[in-house]
Amino acid sequence: MIEQPISEKLNKFFSGFKKLSFKKGELILRAGDKPPGIFYLKKGYTRLYSLSKDAQELTLIIFKAGNLFPLMWTLNDTPNMYYLEAMTAVEIHQAPREKFLNFIKNDNELLFELTRRILMRFGGILNRMEYAIFGHAHSKVASIILICAERFGIQSKQDIIIQVPLTHQDIANLIGIARETVSIEMEKLQKKGLIDHQRKYLIIKNVRKLKEECALESIDENNL
């Protein structure tokens, strides 16, 4: 018997449950709320973020189609302490937690793939933490652009197009610095010919030279 790809298995499972639609900017889940189930992102982009006492936002993860959330609550029953917001118009399927747990417990291949995804995301967070502590504003901006290219980029001739519509504020929220600072550093990178914009999307013109701006050697452009 031919094994179904993981994406097909998830699509088939979640298609039998409630479908939800959200507009750009709508909150899907609030910090402190008990999730009504596990969400499967069918279409669009969402972001998971925390909010400080002075209302400063820090984006922790950007989810794309095929991602699941909140996994910590689903797998560990950890209370949800984060906000989940639609970055674009999104389509989500919501399944009961227990049914999903029974589903993955009976499929070792799927369970392995979910574990692999969690570890990859954890690695990305560690990477960002390193630059948050040791980097300066310029290297932080350059590095988060490369990280987004690795996760959301598509090759277009010699360029890489980041498919998430990122504003300067979105980038600021990802690395915890002021939007005005991001704008200054982005302008420097654009003047050097390393990045550009195509409508609402960010384009990387030269991955190798952009790496030199932040000395980030762990991302291989061959994998973008």
Domain boundaries, the chain: 6-117, 136-223
CA distances to 57, 59, 113, 145 from 172, rounded to whole Å, are 9, 9, 31, 11
pLDDT at 189 over 70: yes
Lowest mean pLDDT among 110-119, 131-140, 169-178, 213-222: 213-222
For residue 120, count CB atoms less than 10 angstroms from its CB and return exposed for 0-12, middle for 13-18, buried for 19 or more: exposed
6-117 topology per CATH: Jelly Rolls (2.60.120)
Averaged pLDDT of the chain: 87
Q: Give Cα separations from 66 to 6, 27, 73, 90, 176 (angstroms).
A: 10, 19, 18, 12, 27
Nearest to 25 by CA among 112, 99, 83, 98: 83
Question: What mean pLDDT do residues 154-179 have?
Answer: 91
With beta carbons less than 8 A apart as the criterion, state whether 175 and 131 touch. yes
- What type of residue sits at position 179? R
Give pLDDT tens digits for 66-81.
999 998 899 889 999 9
Distance CA 51, CA 138 (A): 24
pLDDT tier at 55 (50, 70, 90 boundaries)? Answer: confident
Per CATH, 6-117 and 136-223 having the same topology is answered no
pLDDT for 223 beyond 50: no
- Whole-number pLDDT of residue 218: 41
pLDDT of residue 4: 57
Distance between CA 27 and CA 30 in Å, rounded? 7
Supply the pLDDT for residue 114: 85
Fold annotation for 136-223: Arc Repressor Mutant, subunit A (1.10.10)
> Over 90: is that where the pLDDT of 42 sits?
yes
Determine contact, residues 216/143, Cβ cutoff 8 Å: yes
- Give rounded-to-5 percent helix, strand, coil for the chain: 45, 25, 30
83-133 pLDDT tens trace: 999 999 999 999 999 999 999 988 888 888 888 888 888 887 787 777 777
Instruction: Flag whether pLDDT at 216 surpasses 70.
Output: no
